Amino acid sequence: MGNTCSNHLGIPPAKGPNPVGCTDFMMDHTTEGSFFRLYYPCQETKEADKPDWIPCREYFNGLADFMKINRTLSEGIFNYLFGSFKIPAYLDAPFKSNEKCPVVIFSHGLGAFRTLYSAICAELASQGFIVASVEHRDQSASATFYFREKSESERTNENVPCTSASAQDLVQEWMYYRVLQQGEMEFPLRNKQVKQRANECILALDKLIEINSGIQVQNALQTRFDWTTLENSMDLCRIAAMGHSFGGATMIEALCKEVKFKCGVALDAWMFPLDEEIFPRVKQPIFFINSEKFQWAGNISRMKKLDSAVIQRKMITIRGTVHQSFPDFTFLTGNWIGKLMKLKGEIDPEIAINLCNRATLAFLQRHLGLDKNFNQWDPLINGEDDNLIPGTNVTMLHSSI
């Protein structure tokens, strides 16, 4: 089917000077906790495995629900197309960095989850960042999970003593994408979700701050990663937020709520979920990196409402890209299936993601005050490249601005 050229398909390896590790963290086992995949610079290792891109079959089921196709039918297709791909990072590899790492909190789009942006997150980690890719519990992810404590009857049946919850007292529960009900207004749902998502990003940051300060943390997941090695590893004066689509809106909401975020990068942001009255309260620099095929005048006009004479707000558009040019799917399908499913645009996906990553790094250096060489890509921030459009390709009517 679409995997006939699988030797050419795969998530591109990170290009920075550091090898990349990744691990999962779940703070408290309930839906109220924070759940994220952490990407970080790591030691050279031959022993660690690279994790599966799709962690388990429930995520295939969630993607099927989101795409409104039959679970049984789609599981085989998804497994055939995507089941063999790995994240370009070493699972639970020991952390290693010669300097304190700036921090990025990443928010996924509608119907996505924590592993689907590994090309972007791993690249940032290879360049010296610690990146937490949050998996949201607002029912906007295709699938996610948490744990609940066993009921008394479940414990009784297993003869488990009724003490405080331990790993064997917990039951894994799955939460799938919530479909808009017939006749339901979309804005109240999405606005409620974007607020929860921003809170989850802030909660992830709070947890990293605790870890950095040496506070012992409880991970509800069984991993081999030693979290104590992250003590004093982060540069907490240099924190940014980033997100794709719904995650772009989440980033803006998070900047409004938390001044520890010094700037934000929005990849093809979907502005609909946001209350416009928050726009004047966002004081940090923002970089909009858009695809050529997704944006429309109403969405761009909301971005332009964040324009400021005193705070840098930049926008570029990558030629030949589609909305799905930012998640990893774009690297994992052959040409015709990729275009049929709108996972690929006209541009080579690696050229597009390189432009996105380099422009992001240049912007982060500028606004986090990094002592790196990312300023070599400063022209990209202004759209100075044959594959970039400064601003937008969307024709704006005066009434929509």
The 10s digit of each residue's pLDDT in 16-65 is 999 999 999 998 899 999 999 999 999 988 888 999 999 999 999 999 99
Rounded-to-integer distance, Cα 92 and Cα 334, Å: 31
List Cβ neighbours of 394 (8 Å cut-off, separation of 6 or more). 295, 296, 297, 300
Residue 43's Cβ-side half-sphere holds a number of Cα atoms within 13 Å equal to 10
pLDDT at 161 over 50: no
Q: What is the mean pLDDT of residues 247-261?
A: 98
List Cβ neighbours of 170 (8 Å cut-off, separation of 6 or more). 29, 147, 148, 149, 150, 220
Q: What's the token pair of residue 108?
A: 């996924």
Give which of 19, 3, 37 is closest to 219, Cα–Cα. Answer: 37
Classify strands 101-107 and 143-149 as parallel, antiparallel or unpaired.
unpaired
* Amino acid 398: pLDDT: 58
* Amino acid 399: pLDDT: 47
pLDDT at 182 over 60: yes
> Going edge to edge, which strands form the sheet with 34-41?
90-91, 20-27, 34-41, 130-134, 101-107, 234-244, 263-267, 286-291, 313-318, 388-390
Do the beta carbons of residue 358 and residue 284 sit within 8 Å? no
Do the beta carbons of residue 381 and residue 284 sit within 8 Å? no
Rounded-to-integer distance, Cα 345 and Cα 329, Å: 12
Q: What is the mean pLDDT of residues 174-196?
A: 96
Other Cβ atoms closer than 10 A to 260: 18
- Catalytic positions: 245, 268, 323
Mean per-residue pLDDT of the chain: 92
pTM to 2 decimal places: 0.94
Do the beta carbons of residue 127 and residue 16 sit within 8 Å? yes
Do the beta carbons of residue 319 and residue 295 sit within 8 Å? no
The per-residue pLDDT for range 193-248, each reduced to its tens digit, is: 999 999 999 999 999 999 999 999 989 998 999 999 999 999 999 999 999 999 99
